[in-house]
């Protein structure tokens, strides 16, 4: 359960709603404690429901063959990097032609076991 109400009390602070006059934790009233507990529980329930829906959505997307994240820029140009390197181009020239960084070119060559 959420410990926020307890942390607020421990700091000597209270919650008082201007709009909802029924919410005032400045007095040590059992009703206030109950309301905070219920609101805390509802907040936790909402977080759990969001988490559950997110997991179900990811599982459904995975079942449809979809993966999250941005497509890798390296995959698009890995063949080009390998081809240029095999043809004897220097790393600097490969960087200029592909628009990839030196580190990425070296990483691609390492993945292709060419370097």
pLDDT tens digits, 48-61: 999 999 999 999 99
With 0.85 as the threshold, say if the pTM is over it: no
Rounded to whole angstroms, the Cα distance separating 115 from 104 reads 12
Question: Are 105 and 77 within one domain?
Answer: yes
Tell me, yes or no, whether 81 and 43 share the same domain.
no
Q: pLDDT > 90: what percent of the chain?
A: 39
Confidence band of 73 (pLDDT split at 50, 70, 90): low
Q: Does a structural domain hold residue 68? A: no
Same domain, 56 and 86: no
Judge whether 113 and 83 are in contact, CB under 8 Å: no
Q: 33-54 burial by CB neighbour count: b if 16+ within 10 A, else e?
A: eebbeeebeeeeeeeeeeeeee
Q: Which residue has the higher pLDDT, 87 or 28?
A: 87
**Structural domain total, the chain:** 2
């Amino acid at each position: 359960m959420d410990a926020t109400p307890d942390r607020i009390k421990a700091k000597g602070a209270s919650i008082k709603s201007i709009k909802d006059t029924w919410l005032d934790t400045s007095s040590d009233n059992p009703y206030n404690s109950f309301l905070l507990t219920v609101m805390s529980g509802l907040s936790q329930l909402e977080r759990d429901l969001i988490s559950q829906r997110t997991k179900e959505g990811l599982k459904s997307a995975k079942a449809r063959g979809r993966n999250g994240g941005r497509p890798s820029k390296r995959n698009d140009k890995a063949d080009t990097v390998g081809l240029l390197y095999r043809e004897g181009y220097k790393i600097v020239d490969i960087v200029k032609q592909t628009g990839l960084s030196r580190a990425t070119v070296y990483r691609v060559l390492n993945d292709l076991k060419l370097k």
